[in-house]
């Protein structure tokens, strides 16, 4: 797969900025089966300080471990210091809800063959972890059971990993934040006041990796520690059913680490299971080829005749950090993390036609609407005719009219089963020049 890296500013706040670095090759390698590389978000405060690296999704069957950093990347703002976030290290395994499609990625940091399908991802995350700016690393997981120092049951025992902060050794000498055991105990102690159930308490689990655990010697955290980078494995329990609660626990622990590191932050939601659930319910938007924009939260589970380029040339850009498009047979499955949002059945067109905007009378007032945008309408809209351009409003049909420009369309004129959303409010306004697709605008009717 050809790898292209790009950099752009998502937004700049008065007290900091977020940048996303990503591989611009989501669907360029559909023939090889790969469809998404991991993303790196850099949340930078205006005031300098320490840098925390949070890595999620090394295991694709641990949703708390990747939805939590996706919330961190999209809903937190840093005022002092920096937080770097990789929410989807093993993106393909996440979409399949499998620990690792090509084997356990977290056992490939001591040695990995160049022909291994995970080679590029492991190499890149190693470079990020060893960046001189990174002061401390958190690797997020969901683990079995509830860790206890003594055997109580098959769920509560020393072999369990759930509800732990895992360290490979107690200290790193002469390294900032090298007192890992002390830091881990401080974090777990401070979390005790915010637990939903008494048995959800967190404990420190020292694997003493160098002497006792050959498997952990292959992990990301041990790779970091051997390179003098303080690193922690953070595990919520797979035996906690509610995803929102696992995400809440991960975020509370991350906030405690930020306090230890002097990183100042803000978030725009209440840190509770209810508040987190509201964030998780928002799937964001998807832009395709700069000509189509879709709201994913209430999108229909099947979308037919989606105008695409084909031939692996389509570019899908998600606002959600865990968005992914997976090519399967004659369709694309759209994912947010391990959740399939919709299936797109494409219709392929040349997209040589370039149409920047259209004039649309919305409730009687003319507006210039850019291709890919959404406009809201109370009563009706009318697309002004454009020379050599045919307008097709999906879900509307006027007898004998092949071109639906110049016609006022009201909500009562539409067929809800053809809407984009399950509520029957959003309709595709598509533009064509002969057999070329020029772009799409969304008409969103009021309730």
Select from 139, 338, 98 the least CA-distant residue to 250.
139
Where residue 91 falls among pLDDT bands split at 50, 70, 90?
Answer: very high
- C-alpha distances in angstroms, 19 versus 140, 185, 211? 21, 32, 40
Mean pLDDT of the chain: 92
- Contact at 8 Å (CB) between 390 and 431? yes
Whether the pLDDT of residue 69 is over 90: the answer is yes
In which residue are the tokens 């060893």 written?
130
CA dist 288 and 307 (Å) reads 10
Which sign, positive or negative, has the C-alpha torsion 224, 229, 233, 234?
negative
Whether the pLDDT of residue 28 is over 50: the answer is no
The overall longest dimension of the chain from CA atoms, in Å, is 80
CA dist 359 and 370 (Å) reads 9
Whether the pLDDT of residue 302 is over 70: the answer is yes
Name the CATH architecture for the domain at 5-280: 3-Layer(aba) Sandwich (3.40)
Residue-wise pLDDT for 139-156, tens only, equals 999 999 999 999 999 999
Whether the pLDDT of residue 5 is over 70: the answer is no
Whether the pLDDT of residue 271 is over 50: the answer is yes
Domain extent listing, the chain: 5-280, 285-348, 357-445
DSSP characters over 324-339:
EEEEETTEEEEEETTE
- Model-level pTM greater than 0.85? yes
- 296-305 burial, b if ≥16 CB within 10 A, otherwise e? beebbeebee
C-alpha angle 311-283-22 in degrees, rounded to nearest 5:
55
Helix, strand and coil content of the chain, in percent to the nearest 5, comes to: 20, 35, 40
What confidence score (pLDDT) does residue 400 get?
86
- Contact at 8 Å (CB) between 318 and 288? no
- Contact at 8 Å (CB) between 345 and 330? yes
> Does residue 24 or residue 323 have the better pLDDT?
323
> Does residue 86 or residue 351 have the better pLDDT?
86
Where residue 312 falls among pLDDT bands split at 50, 70, 90?
Answer: confident
Any idea what DSSP says for residue 60? T
């Amino acid at each position: 797969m050809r790898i292209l890296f790009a950099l752009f500013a998502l937004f700049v706040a008065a007290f900091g900025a977020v940048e996303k670095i990503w591989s611009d090759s989501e669907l360029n390698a559909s023939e090889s089966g790969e469809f998404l590389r991991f993303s790196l978000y850099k949340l930078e405060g205006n005031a300098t300080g320490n840098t925390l690296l949070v890595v999620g999704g090394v295991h694709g069957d641990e949703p708390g471990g990747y939805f939590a950093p996706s919330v961190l990347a999209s809903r937190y703002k840093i005022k002092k210091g920096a937080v770097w976030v990789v929410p989807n290290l093993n993106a393909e395994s996440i979409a399949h809800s499998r620990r690792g499609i090509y084997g356990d990625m977290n056992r490939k940091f001591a040695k990995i063959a160049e022909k291994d399908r995970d080679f590029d991802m492991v190499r890149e995350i190693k470079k990020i972890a060893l960046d001189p700016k990174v002061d401390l690393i958190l690797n997020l997981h969901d683990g079995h059971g509830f860790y206890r120092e003594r055997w109580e049951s098959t769920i509560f025992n020393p072999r369990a990993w759930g509800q732990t902060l895992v360290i490979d050794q107690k200290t790193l000498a002469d390294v900032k934040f090298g007192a890992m055991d002390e830091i881990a105990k401080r974090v777990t102690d401070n979390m005790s006041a915010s637990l939903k159930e008494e048995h959800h308490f967190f404990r420190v689990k020292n694997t003493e990796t160098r002497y006792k655990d050959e498997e952990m010697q292959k992990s990301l955290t041990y790779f970091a520690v051997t390179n003098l980078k303080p690193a922690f494995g953070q595990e919520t329990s797979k035996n906690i059913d509610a995803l929102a609660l696992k995400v809440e626990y991960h975020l509370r622990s991350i906030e405690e680490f930020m306090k230890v590191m002097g990183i100042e932050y803000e978030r725009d939601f209440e840190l509770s299971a209810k508040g987190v659930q509201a964030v998780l319910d928002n799937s964001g938007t998807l832009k395709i080829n700069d000509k189509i924009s879709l709201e994913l939260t209430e999108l229909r589970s099947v979308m037919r005749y989606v105008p695409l380029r084909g031939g692996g040339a389509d570019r899908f850009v998600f606002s959600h950090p865990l968005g992914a498009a997976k090519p399967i047979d004659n369709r694309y499955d759209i994912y947010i993390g391990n959740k399939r949002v919709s299936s797109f059945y494409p219709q392929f067109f040349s997209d040589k036609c370039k149409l920047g905007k259209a004039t649309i009378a919305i409730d009687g007032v003319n507006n210039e609407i850019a291709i890919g945008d959404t406009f809201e309408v109370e009563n009706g809209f009318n697309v002004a005719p454009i020379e050599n351009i045919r307008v097709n409003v999906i879900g509307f049909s006027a007898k004998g009219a092949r071109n639906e420009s110049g016609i006022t369309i009201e909500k009562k004129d539409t067929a809800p089963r053809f809407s984009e959303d399950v509520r029957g409010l959003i309709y595709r306004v598509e533009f064509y020049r002969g057999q070329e697709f020029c772009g799409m605008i969304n008409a969103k009717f009021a309730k």
